[in-house]
Amino acid sequence: MIMVSALCLTALIVHSCGIYSFSGTSIQADVYTVNIHYFEYKALRVNPTLSNDLTEALKDQFRRLTRLEQVDDEGDLDIVGEIIGYDVKAMGITANEVASQNRLTVNVKIYFTNRKYPEDNLEQSFSAYADFDATQSLDAVESTLCEEIIDKLVEDIFNATVAQW
């Protein structure tokens, strides 16, 4: 019983200090707001929904895993992003020199500003991909692949900005 009480007390103290949370974030106690800008689309190949889908997925991640209030201007944390690459390339080649697998790759660049702790500011590129069978057209699998890629990108961006892994 004493062991359980001590463990609960330790967990409460660690959680209440505001630096670490059990969602894996390390947000300082005096940081209250985040502004996640719409991801600008700069890739040559066009996917008309990717910017919106990525922006909304990142906002959802912050809503679910942080206590931060999302604001439209001048947040304590500020995330600006751009989609700089959207490419399909052949990956697996058969004995007949025909592609057996294709890879959809999305590249993004983010600019993270922490107005209260500028030492945490970050400018970083991220890349994620998903493979698909070459017998399928991109149009047939694009939405499923993009969901998978967005999930990876959101996790990487979240970890780099507020989880600091």
Domains of the chain (ranges plus CATH)? 32-163 (3.30.160.150)
Q: Rounded to whole angstroms, what are the CA distances from 32 to 38, 68, 103?
A: 20, 5, 39
**For residues 104 and 142, is the Cβ–Cβ distance under 8 A?**
yes
* Measured distance CA(37)–CA(40) in Å, rounded: 9
- What's the pLDDT at 13? 42
pLDDT per residue as tens, the chain (165 positions): 554 444 444 444 444 444 444 445 679 999 999 999 999 999 999 999 999 999 999 999 999 999 999 999 999 999 999 999 999 998 877 667 677 899 999 999 999 999 999 999 999 999 999 999 989 999 999 999 999 999 999 999 999 999 865
Q: Helix H segments across the chain?
A: 2-16, 50-65, 138-158
